[in-house]
Amino acid sequence: MASALDLTASLQAASSKATPKPSAMHGDVAGARKTAEDFATFFFSQSLETVFSGMGADKIFGGGSGEEVYKSLLTQEYGKAMAHSAGAGLTDTVQREILRLQEMA
């Protein structure tokens, strides 16, 4: 039977692993840029999911679960492309805010 000391040590070890680590260190411009691009990608992907949700199945492929999976993957790739090109305004704004918030911490 495990003692209370062993249980406490296990819980402390598990909680230290679960503590979130900041993805961008203070003043880490490259980390802030990656985080901003990830956010822009997510934002554009979710926006496109809404746009494409009203579209029916393609008559050539006939729909099905496979089409839904690939439609989702295609939407994510569109989001990445938008974040890297047209999303520069959003990405730059988010990056600036991340860096500003890092200075406050």
Q: pLDDT tens across 20-35, in order?
A: 445 545 668 888 889 9
pLDDT over 60 (residue 7): no
Which DSSP symbol is given to 19? Answer: S
| Residue ranges making up the domain that contains 66 | 25-104
Structure tokens at 79: 């989001």
Residue 32: inside a domain: yes
Q: State the pLDDT at residue 18.
A: 44
Q: Which bin fits 33, alpha (ψ -120 to 50), beta or left (φ > 0)? A: alpha
Whether pTM > 0.75 for this model: the answer is no
Residue 6: inside a domain: no
pLDDT over 70 (residue 40): yes
- Of 103, 105, 102, which is closest to residue 24 (Cα–Cα)? 102
Q: How many domains does the structure of the chain reveal?
A: 1
Residue 89: inside a domain: yes
Residue 2: inside a domain: no
